[in-house]
Structure 1
């Protein structure tokens, strides 16, 4: 359950809007003028941010916050929201996610309607009423000391390996590339030795699936960390042990309902700080390529103020 309404006022200033026209394969592209028109109904100027790449989008969000934006709204999927969150994490600038992508896990898990127009109405009402709700974020610190934030789930097992392979492939294009990457990695499937430190307590495990969740879902509704709560100040760590191919294929569909955690090879832990290491793993947070292991992941309570 989300936290109670915060009483901190929404800062003055325009509403900065980051929109990804290619999100969700462009199916909501034509909605942007209507979304902007409704946002203007909150009684504040609306400023559309210009960006051609994900890196430019993130830089534009940072610049908007530095220039005095009173709020930031991101129209797109989890990747777009991930970029925007980097600019508002730990600040007083509130944030509104408008789900318009293929995967909208963070928006869904924090209580926003699936329909973009309905989500904008929630944001407009929050702006009018000066209402925000605090939620936690996960802060990732790399071995080099770089810091990234994520809202939903960090994948560090089979799904991350599949993403990494799919991103290296030049053929085929579209969803079939991901399907082919799954087949290739299933053929190569093997448990890896992970070194975990949970709130200072160390353990080593052989695992195929590893996920660290601030929220419950990733991948467009797969409830990999089904009991994760973005208001409890904790991270849920789900570890799927020595699965063989047949067992993994049988268990994977259960992730959509979150019932995979009942499997005897799955363990669930809860911690404020997670230190994670394994050889040859590049992690993905909110579906975005993040960094190679080792990483330190910390739950930061009330790091984000949602316009809800």
Structure 2
């Protein structure tokens, strides 16, 4: 065991093994080689690749091969501190992240401050939301990096585990990232770091969340997309929207019933296990109602982004959107589903640029 590991807070043996190989990779890397760094790694043991089972064992084999190929050292690198923390719940993860961020910024130690999030989209969202609500003033001093280790990894800062550790192996730079702020009429704020959607897609997410432990995100999403299409309008009849869209072209008003309403922090955005829902530069989509047979015919187009250009799919470049809806509806933020009531409208969605510092 590395002498540094005595400062870890880990209960599970398999998470301890994950920490050991990750620590070895980080100490053998050139990450912030000139400046040094203090790194806190938050681990969600319930995330897809971190839950004990075949997927975790396969990932560990890949990480061990990376460590062997890089001839990484067991000796801690001078100027680099790494600590691991196994989380116990959503609340514990958020509280722990806030404490660590405060400690990092106030420590006075030389070098960069980096928090690595090992988990999936829900874990990433919970921690980033907790940080933004509790300590927004210090986010400029803390660097984040989100590992793709969940059943859904649309928010992650790398597409694969190998790509993530390639970035961690040599990076010394950062980039700014934006987010979505959803503010209800009751003053409640929700954050999303990839996509916020309403209606059918949010219902698919609700069904997917109940069953995602049974298979991978892409397969589960496809299965429940089919199920949701069959029953959605019986459970959630389409009701009128009034939507005000503000963007580079000015203000646009749209009214009517929409099957899909999707807002991304940027264009060229994927989610739902890689579905190209916003395939172009536009970041806001309104999709007109269709018959059941019509939905089933066009659904495969969403996986390729081929729905762009269809007359029933209207895309916009939007900085802010105000939505009024006649009745309750589901909203999803990065896969987490929120039940909205009449009192939550009008609801405002807004892109907030350059909030997070991300390792690149």
Coarse TM-score class (shorter-chain normalised): 0.7 to 0.9
| Structure 2: gaps spanning 5 or more residues | 1-33, 106-112
Find the counterpart in structure 1 of residue 56 from structure 2. 29
Task: Report the alpha carbon displacement of residue 87 of structure 1 after superposing the two structures with TM.
Answer: 4.2
Q: What does residue range 1-308 of structure 1 map to in structure 2 within 5 Å?
A: 14-24=38-48, 26=51, 29-30=56-57, 43-68=79-104, 70-89=113-132, 91-92=139-140, 93-107=142-156, 112=158, 114-126=159-171, 129=172, 131-164=173-206, 174=214, 179=223, 182-183=226-227, 185-189=229-233, 190-199=237-246, 201-215=252-266, 216-228=269-281, 236-278=283-325, 279-290=327-338, 292=340, 294=345, 295-308=347-360
Find the counterpart in structure 2 of residue 232 from structure 1. none
Match of 1:105, SS? coil
Structure 2: distance between partners of 1:59 and 1:32: 28
Task: Report the alpha carbon displacement of residue 124 of structure 1 after superposing the two structures with TM.
Answer: 4.2
C-alpha RMSD of matched pairs (Å): 3.3
Residues 45, 87 of structure 2: 8 Å contact kept: no
| Structure 1: gaps spanning 5 or more residues | 1-9, 229-234
Residues 136, 303 of structure 1: 8 Å contact kept: yes
Match of 2:276, SS? coil
Task: Report the alpha carbon displacement of residue 165 of structure 1 after superposing the two structures with TM.
Answer: 5.0
Over 4 Å off, 4+ runs: 10-13, 30-35, 40-43, 87-90, 175-178
Structure 1: distance between partners of 2:271 and 2:98: 25
Match of 1:239, SS? strand
Structure 2: distance between partners of 1:305 and 1:62: 16
Give the count of matched residue pairs. Answer: 283
Provide, for residues 250-285 of structure 1, a one-character-per-residue CA deviation record: whole Å limited to 9, x for no partner: 222111111112221110011111122322212111
Moved more, 194-203 or 134-143: 194-203
Task: Report the alpha carbon displacement of residue 191 of structure 1 after superposing the two structures with TM.
Answer: 3.6
Provide, for residues 213-269 of structure 1, a one-character-per-residue CA deviation record: whole Å limited to 9, x for no partner: 1141111101111125xxxxxx71111102121111122211111111222111001
Residues 192, 208 of structure 1: 8 Å contact kept: no
Structure 2: distance between partners of 1:191 and 1:226: 25
- Quickly say closer, same or farther: Cα 1:249–1:45, change in 2 above 3 A: same
- What TM-score do the two structures reach when normalised by structure 1? 0.78
- What TM-score do the two structures reach when normalised by structure 2? 0.68
Larger radius of gyration: 2
Match of 1:156, SS? strand
Structure 2: distance between partners of 1:225 and 1:277: 22
Task: Report the alpha carbon displacement of residue 99 of structure 1 after superposing the two structures with TM.
Answer: 0.8
Match of 1:275, SS? strand
Provide, for residues 143-181 of structure 1, a one-character-per-residue CA deviation record: whole Å limited to 9, x for no partner: 3223232211112120102333566x7x99835987468
Does 1 or 2 have the higher relative contact order (CA < 8 Å, sep 6+)? 1
